[in-house]
Structure 1
Amino acid sequence: MFIFPLLIVISFVLYIYYKVMIVRTRDPLTQDYLNSKSKIFLGSFILFFGVNQYVFYQTKLSLFIGLIFIALGIFQAQSGWKASKHYRNEYQKHQTQS
């Protein structure tokens, strides 16, 4: 399966990209929005890593570890998605007031 390592690398690169963009901006609202976007990609990285571990090894131990990684990845991506929606709306309100 070549797709999971590719998704792992893409999500990790996008996670690093958004973390670097946080350092480059000074606006706290924009930093929070970019941090929430980076949480989405961190969650997808953990999720795809957990799936890849089980597909690659296919043992009971890798199944348990993979399930833990999948659960943590889903939780991280979901919380990042909710925060991203919140900060996107706040950013739009901020832009209309200015």
Structure 2
Amino acid sequence: MTVIFPMIIVISLVLYVYYKVAIIKASDGLTRGYYNGKSRICLGSFILFFGINQYVYYQTRLSLFIGIVFILLGCLQLYVGIKESKFYRKEFRRVHPEA
């Protein structure tokens, strides 16, 4: 249990940076939007699991309040990222039916 949260945090941070670099390399607007949605998902999971990790390791009232704020922000980023990536995936399939 003590290793799972830090591993998820590091993996989501690495994927966030990967998708941000992929946005710079992409030339199509739909692809950029899709990668931006994916990067928001990774950022949201990073913030969410960081907030959970804060409370699990410190277990103080202050870390609980900070963790709740981080969990709420992480869930918001996850929700927006999932909606954005679904939208751009659907648009990409509509514009490029052969792909």
Fold agreement, TM-score > 0.5: yes
Q: How many residues align?
A: 98
Letter in 1 for 2:65: F
Unmatched 5+ stretches in structure 1: none
Could you state the TM-score of these two structures normalised by the residue count of structure 2? Answer: 0.96
Q: Deviations over 1:23-76 (max 9, x none)?
A: 011111100110011000000000000000001110000000000000000010
Identity level (%): 58
The one-letter code matched in structure 2 to 1:63 is L
Amino acid at match of 1:38: S
Runs of 4+ residues deviating >3 angstroms: none
User: Residue in 1 aligned with 2:32?
Assistant: 31
In 1: Cα distance, 2:19 partner to 2:98 partner: 26
Match of 2:70 in 1: 69
Map of 1:58 onto structure 2: 59
Tell me the CA shift for residue 97 of structure 1. Answer: 7.6
Moved more, 88-97 or 24-33: 88-97
| AA matched with 1:37 | K
Question: TM-score normalised to the size of structure 1?
Answer: 0.97
Three-state SS of the structure 1 residue aligned to 2:13 is: helix
